[in-house]
Amino acid sequence: MKKLPAKSILLVANGDLRLSANQATWHLQVAMEKQLAKAVAALGYKLVRAHAYKPKLKHGFISSQKEGMEVFAGIDPQAPLIVAESVWQYSHHVLHGLISHRGPILTVANWSGSAPGLVGMLNLNGSLTKAGVNYSTLWSEDFTDSFFLKNLEKWLKTGAVQHRQTHVRPLSRCAVPARAKTLGKKLADELRQKKAIMGIFDEGCMGMYNAIIPDELLFQTGVYKERLSQSALYYETTQVSDAEARAVYSWLKKKGLTFHYGKNPKTDLTEDQVLLQCKMYVAALRIADEFGCDAIGIQYQQGLKDLLPASDLAEGLLNNADRPPVKNAQGKEILPGQPLTHFNEVDECAGLDGIFTHRVHRALKQPIENTLHDLRWGTPDPTGTVDDYVWVFLISGAAPAAHHIGGYKGSDSLRQPPMYFRLGGGTLRGVAKPGEIVWSRIFVENGKLKMDLGRAKVVELPREETERRWRETNPQWPIMHAVTYGVSRDQMMARHKANHIQVAYAKDAAAADLALYTKAALASQLGLEVALCGTKANGTKF
């Protein structure tokens, strides 16, 4: 084990498992590390990479759990260590080493939309939180701002930085309306008595340890997992007839969904890819029906991406009440006029939230479509259309058309980036419609299920600003321009324990407040530790 000279800080850069993604994004990491090293040097310390650039692979990321273990076995476990993230990363590559590390840990991401580095860091933070690891976390646009430098200096000197969380209030200190309490209790009783099934197509997506809910913690909620397999989904997909796929496809075209096709399947979307996605949609519904699932999650990456086009189109459709009809083996239509809640990337915390949201919104006669997004990035609106800070909520392909301006007509389908999805597949993309939403996140901390909820509005920005945000991130993916009430950028980053954030619309601000309170009451009845974040639309406390 190498002994580090005094005032040295180790740097670990974690990456994707997919070589194509690591190669395509390496230049972003190089740029970030340069800025970070400069900031650390200006404070009198030296950043030392804990692992080298790999010329043969053309990147310097840790790209597997095994490689991560080798790296951590060779470093001083007492050394101060920064995990620097500018790209999407698989937390399990480094989680083991951070669990056994004894020195101070700081996770850092650059405030950039270019690659999902912020998303990667939030996933790692959620995973470290669930694992009970002490860590500090920081983010910065270019590593020269005073918020970052002040906190970095503090971490270098003391080994820890904390962020104030004055925007977070335990539910017990909030004024929950009686109607929300009563309905929350009724729905909780129903769940405890009748129970519900969450269908899990291969547990654990892309190293997202935080997204797995230990079964024991779920028992209290009345929700149980049915462990399904992506192999079964693949097989069932191959059993769906061409005619059925065509029927789904025609339904979508009739509704006005636009597909952007090209000739080269390696880089373009083709009709064949979409038809396979239509088969997958039918297959997923049939399996969910067979096992009686209230919600399903498809892991969708490793394993499936080498057999089929991405599952996003199917996932977006499943999450919409108005979707192509599918019959089961007995000839009965499956859940007519209803979504089958799908939790992208088999994020079980989002799945549980989706089950709650569906029931609460159905009971309150509010729109039941809900989805997760990545908390991808954010920036003030340079066009001046709104004064607020506007988040980029973006997800890698699947959102219900009901969330989009113009529904299916306003949505389109573009080929997934080849670096993530070799076999392509179309996304279900759109711009989220303006309106009042409830955001939420279930997470695990100190061995307990917890839930944060807050309110936000979705704003409409000029098309050129939407296009700019897409260019800065992933133009193929659905986007939501969100303004969180009473939660600043830094407060959100400091508190949020996941890469994902759940969103659901309500008809107006008052209805959204009631939906928030009811979901909070339901979760609390089921034993979750609930907190409300920020304020109502008018700035008043919950």
Ligand X SMILES: C[C@H](O)[C@@H](O)[C@@H](O)C(=O)CO
Query: Which residues of this protein are in contact with ligand X, per CB under 6 A?
Result: 88, 116, 119, 345, 374, 396, 420, 499
CB atoms within 10 A of CB 52: 8
CB atoms within 10 A of CB 478: 28
CB of 542 to ligand X, least distance (A): 28
CB of 136 to ligand X, least distance (A): 22
C-beta closer to ligand X: residue 15 or 435: 15
Q: Alpha-carbon distance 34 to 38, whole Å?
A: 6
Q: Alpha-carbon distance 245 to 310, whole Å?
A: 16
> How many helical (H) and strand (E) elements, i.e. helices and strands, does the chain have?
15, 19
CB of 174 to ligand X, least distance (A): 29
C-beta closer to ligand X: residue 188 or 395: 395
The full length of the chain comes to 542
CB of 374 to ligand X, least distance (A): 5
Q: Strand, helix or coil at 497?
A: coil
Which of 398, 348, 387 minimizes the C-alpha distance to 218? 348
CA distances from 393 to 45, 207, 314, 340 (A): 36, 21, 20, 22
HEC readout, 81-113: EEEEECCCCCCHHHHHHHHHCCCCEEEEEECCC
C-beta closer to ligand X: residue 374 or 452: 374
CB of 326 to ligand X, least distance (A): 26
Token pair 């480094």: residue:
94
CB of 107 to ligand X, least distance (A): 16
Q: Backbone phi, then psi, for 237, in 5-degree steps?
A: -60, -40
C-beta closer to ligand X: residue 403 or 536: 403
C-beta closer to ligand X: residue 16 or 452: 16
Q: Counting beta carbons within 10 angstroms of the beta carbon of residue 133, is it exposed (0 to 12), middle (13 to 18) or buried (19 or more)?
A: middle
Structure tokens at 302: 């490793």
Which of 129, 138, 4, 107 minimizes the C-alpha distance to 441? 129
Q: Alpha-carbon distance 353 to 431, whole Å?
A: 23
C-beta closer to ligand X: residue 88 or 393: 88
Helix axes 117-131, 92-100, angle to 10 degrees: 40
CB of 478 to ligand X, least distance (A): 11
CB of 455 to ligand X, least distance (A): 23
CB of 365 to ligand X, least distance (A): 31
Q: Backbone phi, then psi, for 321, in 5-degree steps?
A: -65, -40
Q: Alpha-carbon distance 442 to 526, whole Å?
A: 13
CB of 68 to ligand X, least distance (A): 18
Which of 470, 223, 227, 229 minimizes the C-alpha distance to 350? 223
C-beta closer to ligand X: residue 89 or 341: 89
C-beta closer to ligand X: residue 116 or 426: 116
C-beta closer to ligand X: residue 353 or 513: 353
80: which residues sit within 8 A by CB, 6+ positions away? 9, 10, 103, 104, 106, 156, 159
C-beta closer to ligand X: residue 61 or 420: 420
CB of 318 to ligand X, least distance (A): 17
Q: Strand, helix or coil at 440?
A: strand
C-beta closer to ligand X: residue 135 or 420: 420
134: which residues sit within 8 A by CB, 6+ positions away? 105, 160
CB of 119 to ligand X, least distance (A): 5
Identify whether the C-beta of residue 282 lies closer than 8 Å to the C-beta of residue 245: yes
C-beta closer to ligand X: residue 22 or 525: 22
61: which residues sit within 8 A by CB, 6+ positions away? 13, 14, 15, 16, 22, 26, 29, 87, 89
CB of 516 to ligand X, least distance (A): 24
CA distances from 249 to 234, 274, 307, 427 (A): 19, 8, 20, 14
C-beta closer to ligand X: residue 371 or 535: 371
Identify whether the C-beta of residue 398 lies closer than 8 Å to the C-beta of residue 239: no
C-alpha count within 13 angstroms, C-beta hemisphere, residue 425: 32
CB of 18 to ligand X, least distance (A): 8
C-beta closer to ligand X: residue 79 or 414: 414
